[in-house]
């Protein structure tokens, strides 16, 4: 999956804010592991993060479209966001 740099930056910011790890934002990149790598990202935090993504990007995310691969890395999550944006949106 491809992603835009701006989406990656927005997703990084959103992950850091949602998980309360803004102090680690500078060390985060597309290959930063999420679920299973960040202790702050538990099942409840996943729900919070999905809600925040829906609100920020105007997405309607179907639970069935979410997989563990979606939350493997920040890059994978950003690619998911780009792939699910309404047509015509950057």
Q: Phi and psi (nearest 5°) for 84?
A: -110, 5
Tell which residue, 77, 83, 80, has the closest CA to residue 33.
77
Residues facing 73 on adjacent strands: 33
pLDDT value of position 33: 97
pLDDT value of position 90: 54
Q: What is the pTM of this model?
A: 0.89
Pick the CATH number of 5-84 from 3.90.1150.10, 2.30.30.230, 1.10.1200.10, 1.10.357.10: 1.10.1200.10
Mean residue pLDDT of the chain comes to: 91
Task: Give the torsion sign (CA, 61, 50, 72, 31).
Answer: positive
């Amino acid at each position: 999956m491809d992603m835009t740099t701006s989406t990656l930056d927005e997703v990084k910011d959103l992950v850091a804010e949602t998980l309360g790890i803004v102090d680690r934002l500078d060390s985060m990149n597309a290959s930063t592991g999420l679920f299973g790598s960040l202790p702050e990202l538990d099942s409840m935090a996943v729900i919070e993060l999905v809600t925040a993504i829906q609100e920020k990007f105007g997405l309607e995310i179907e639970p069935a479209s979410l997989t563990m691969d979606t939350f493997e890395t920040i890059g994978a999550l950003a690619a998911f966001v780009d792939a699910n944006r309404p047509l015509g949106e950057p």
